[in-house]
Homo-oligomer: A and B are copies of this chain.
């Protein structure tokens, strides 16, 4: 996903696959192999011996072991060293893939390994759960997200942070109050929203917080984290180039730039427009497919059967397992046929300042 998205936006990619799997893990069964840390290292050494490591950006995602996380740190350090005399020539976007929805899906020793690395990255893109793990701040409101981001700036010194997919309802906070997620949800009118919160710190380490809200689509999609990260790499570099920041360490804008004018905010606006356009089309195509299943015997149709199937998918019932697999396939993100949405997003969303 990340490679395709980056290439579609014109980036030449040298990809080191940290897994070779038959399918994404959303299917709940997978064959294939995680790449050993030693092999990740060896592939980088191979690039290096042929002088092929002149990368402008490193995007690191899923790492299969704590040792692999450490190797990625070594690679990042080596790439950074190459750029010593030209600080902006290297930029590291770190997606600290650890878990989601309160559940860790990597080995526990990966968490401290990432905590070591975060301080060397230029931009980190945790989801809500990962932001909690990294910051130690529990997130149940927009104020919580803001505190987590401030903590990541302060604790790790990270220049740019984006918390992707915050599921708490933040409308109440926006009006200046506080909320708890559970009842805020039931109060909200219209479609539920997902909130993305980002910040680029100032010289003295203060956060410049913005948020962007998008309608939440009623479906679980796999690969959206990598899609977000890949798009963000390309769009952030573009926005920073437009503001002539690429020769600065961490592409850091001046302190007078307001939160909503940050290149990071401009980039996330485009990223979310692209994603929403592709995911809406994916959802429509998936619903068409589900309706055709629905014509079979004993099938239910409607907006939530994806979730229902997830619940029964682990059971022993062959019919329901097959149905779960088909529904998972139906939700595969339609990114290849909608590449134009990546390159030409509609201007849909605007960042808003967060003041909590």
Contact = CB atoms under 8 A, between A and B. Distances in A.
Given A4-B7, A20-B43, A29 B51 contact: no
A52 interface: yes
Interface in A12-43: 12-13, 16-17, 20-23, 27, 29-33, 35, 39, 42-43
A31 B31 CA distance: 24
A50 interface: yes
A31 B51 contact: no
A23 B10 contact: no
A31 B42 contact: yes
A190 B113 CA distance: 62
A311 interface: no
Contacts of A104: none
A35 B47 contact: no
Interface stretch (A161-169, A215-223, A297-305, A322-330): A322-330
Interface residues of A, number: 39
B336 A12 contact: yes
A126 to B, nearest CB: 28
Nearest to A22: B46
A31 B43 CA distance: 6
Nearest to A51: B325
Contacts of A11: 336
A45 interface: yes
Given A17-B17, A22-B43, A29 B50 contact: yes
A186 interface: no
Contacts of A21: 43, 46
A49 interface: yes
B7 A23 contact: no
A337 interface: yes
A322 B51 CA distance: 8
A20 B23 contact: no
Interface in A141-185: none
A49 B31 contact: yes
Given A336-B12, A337-B10, A47 B22 contact: yes
Interface centre among A8, A326, A336, A337 (most CB of B within 10 A): A336
Contact of A43 (B32, B46, B47): B32
A80 to B, nearest CB: 20
Contacts of A27: 50
Contacts of A17: 17, 20
A38 to B, nearest CB: 11
Contacts of A7: 4, 336, 339
A33 to B, nearest CB: 6
Contacts of A339: 7-8
Interface string A323-346: 001101100000011010000000
Most chain B CB within a 10 A radius of its CB, from A21, A22, A35, A46: A22
A319 to B, nearest CB: 13
Interface of A: 4, 7-8, 10-13, 16-17, 20-23, 27, 29-33, 35, 39, 42-47, 49-52, 322, 325-326, 328-329, 336-337, 339
17 contacts: A8-B8, A11-B336, A12-B336, A12-B337, A17-B20, A20-B20, A21-B43, A21-B46, A22-B42, A22-B45, A23-B47, A29-B49, A31-B42, A31-B43, A50-B329, A51-B325, A51-B329
